[in-house]
């Protein structure tokens, strides 16, 4: 039987953010797959999906929700007073009695919300869940929808769609997960020169650099977040870096020269601009400032290589979709529309590990057959 206890120490500080411990049998299955050489393609897709927690949405409070609930209570109170004011004298007495009860309830509700607000303010991420304290409100892909739950990260091998690593987190986005998942996938598969493919939600320069330093090759598109492009100005990509002279060339064919370097949030950034902007006929489409400035991170070449890899291998994004959709689709179909059966990180992580174990065993049986799997397990 699976252990319901997380094998990490209770003093583990990461426990508050994520619990990477899979069930031991989950890891054994991956070791077995490794022995059977099922990970020969050396490519894994990384993806995250939101799974509902036991915690109902009404029992999760963010700053907006507390404010809205307090306003609703206050408006209900005013509405009751207004109704009593306009009631017929004969009805007024009965209404006043009823109103007194309502006001007591509203006061209790307000006091409860104030207690929740105090708890919320003490929480590091400024939100509180009353049923499962580790669950968090998260946006989902549907417009205007959200869930209170966990963000489950997986690394899936592209050949057989086996989940080689997984981790339950309560962070609502995937930024910051690339290196962690890639490293776990590499350890699990034992593939030194691993290629990982992920969607633009994982794009974070420090993460891509960390993978690069570890020899993990990344394929992921850049998010379209350029404010200049949104304003109709030339996008950053319209400026080409010239490594031999450490300059940029702009759409008007001018050179943007290196000017100075700064350190921002621990990152060294180089700034470039051209002296020709003031008299440039294309300035209207470029900047509203004195000159268009381009900033370059000291490790920008790593990001440029990642982009160029993807440009040369656009089929990698299709491969990513095919790879990661299979396991999440299967797991969600098995679980149905319901939420996790357990609460708190360690239990939810164990529950997820069991789902992953069942999924992987099912896959291996489909690939090898029951008899071959039993023989391999006994060997």
List residues near ligand SF4 by CB under 6 A: 250-252, 254, 274, 276-277, 280, 282-283, 286-287, 291-292
CB of 281 to ligand SF4, least distance (A): 8
Q: Name which of 261, 228, 226, 258 is nearest 241 in CA terms.
A: 258
Kindly tell me which of 292 and 363 has the beta carbon lying closer to ligand SF4.
292
CB of 238 to ligand SF4, least distance (A): 8
Kindly tell me which of 253 and 336 has the beta carbon lying closer to ligand SF4.
253
Tell me the C-alpha to C-alpha distance, in Å, between residue 63 and each of 10, 74, 122, 133, 272. Answer: 29, 17, 12, 16, 41
Kindly tell me which of 229 and 342 has the beta carbon lying closer to ligand SF4.
229
Tell me the C-alpha to C-alpha distance, in Å, between residue 169 and each of 95, 138, 172, 310. Answer: 51, 11, 8, 28
Q: Looking up tokens 């002279």, which residue turns up?
A: 245
Residue 179: partners with Cβ closer than 8 Å, 6 or more residues away: 207, 210, 211, 214, 216
Q: Which helix (H) or strand (E) holds 83?
A: helix 63-85
- Residue by residue, DSSP assigns 216-272 as -EEE-PPP---HHHHTTSPPGGGSEEETTTTEEE-TTSPEEEEEEEEEETTEEEEEE
Kindly tell me which of 89 and 253 has the beta carbon lying closer to ligand SF4.
253
CB of 226 to ligand SF4, least distance (A): 14
CB of 126 to ligand SF4, least distance (A): 41
**Integer Rg of the chain from CA:** 27
Kindly tell me which of 39 and 233 has the beta carbon lying closer to ligand SF4.
233
Kindly tell me which of 66 and 286 has the beta carbon lying closer to ligand SF4.
286
CB of 56 to ligand SF4, least distance (A): 53
Tell me the C-alpha to C-alpha distance, in Å, between residue 34 and each of 94, 194, 273. Answer: 76, 14, 52
Kindly tell me which of 96 and 245 has the beta carbon lying closer to ligand SF4.
245
CB of 294 to ligand SF4, least distance (A): 8
CB of 232 to ligand SF4, least distance (A): 13
Strand partners, 147: 138
Kindly tell me which of 90 and 278 has the beta carbon lying closer to ligand SF4.
278
Distance CA 302, CA 205 (A): 9
CB of 276 to ligand SF4, least distance (A): 5
Q: Are 242 and 229 in contact (CB under 8 A)?
A: no
237, two tokens: 């990509």
CB of 247 to ligand SF4, least distance (A): 12
114, two tokens: 């104030």
Kindly tell me which of 103 and 276 has the beta carbon lying closer to ligand SF4.
276
β-pair type (247-249, 146-157): unpaired
């Amino acid at each position: 039987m699976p252990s319901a206890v997380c094998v990490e120490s209770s003093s583990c500080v990461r426990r508050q953010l994520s619990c990477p411990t899979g069930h031991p049998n989950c890891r054994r299955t991956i070791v077995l797959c490794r022995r059977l050489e099922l990970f020969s393609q050396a490519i894994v897709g990384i993806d995250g999906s939101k799974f509902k927690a036991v915690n109902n949405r009404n029992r999760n409070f963010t700053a907006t929700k507390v404010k809205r609930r307090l306003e609703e209570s206050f408006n209900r109170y005013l509405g009751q007073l207004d109704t009593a004011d306009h009631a017929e004298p004969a009805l007024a007495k009965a209404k006043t009695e009823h109103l007194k009860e309502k006001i007591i309830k509203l006061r209790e509700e307000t006091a409860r919300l104030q207690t929740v607000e105090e708890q919320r303010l003490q929480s590091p991420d400024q939100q509180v869940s009353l049923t499962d304290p580790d669950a968090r409100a998260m946006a989902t892909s549907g417009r205007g929808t959200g869930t209170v739950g966990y963000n489950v990260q997986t690394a899936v091998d592209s050949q057989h769609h086996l989940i080689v690593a997984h981790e339950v987190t309560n962070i609502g986005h995937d930024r910051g997960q690339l290196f962690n998942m890639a490293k776990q996938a590499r350890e699990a598969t034992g593939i030194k020169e691993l290629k990982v493919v992920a969607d633009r939600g994982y794009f974070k320069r420090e993460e891509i650099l960390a993978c690069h330093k570890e020899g993990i090759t990344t394929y992921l598109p850049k998010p379209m977040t350029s404010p200049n492009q949104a304003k109709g100005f030339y996008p950053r990509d319209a400026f080409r870096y010239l490594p031999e002279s450490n300059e940029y060339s702009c759409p008007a064919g001018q050179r943007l020269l290196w000017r100075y370097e700064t350190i921002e949030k621990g990152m060294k950034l180089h700034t470039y601009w051209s002296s020709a902007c003031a008299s440039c006929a294309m300035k209207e489409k470029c900047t509203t400032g004195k000159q268009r400035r381009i900033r370059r991170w000291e490790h920008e070449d790593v990001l440029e290589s990642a982009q160029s890899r993807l440009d040369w291998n656009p089929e990698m994004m299709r491969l990513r979709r095919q790879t990661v959709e299979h396991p999440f689709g299967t797991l969600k179909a098995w679980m149905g529309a319901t939420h996790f059966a357990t609460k708190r990180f360690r239990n939810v992580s164990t529950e997820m590990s069991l789902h992953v174990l069942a999924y992987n065993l099912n896959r291996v049986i489909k690939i090898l057959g029951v008899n071959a799997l039993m023989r391999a397990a006994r060997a």
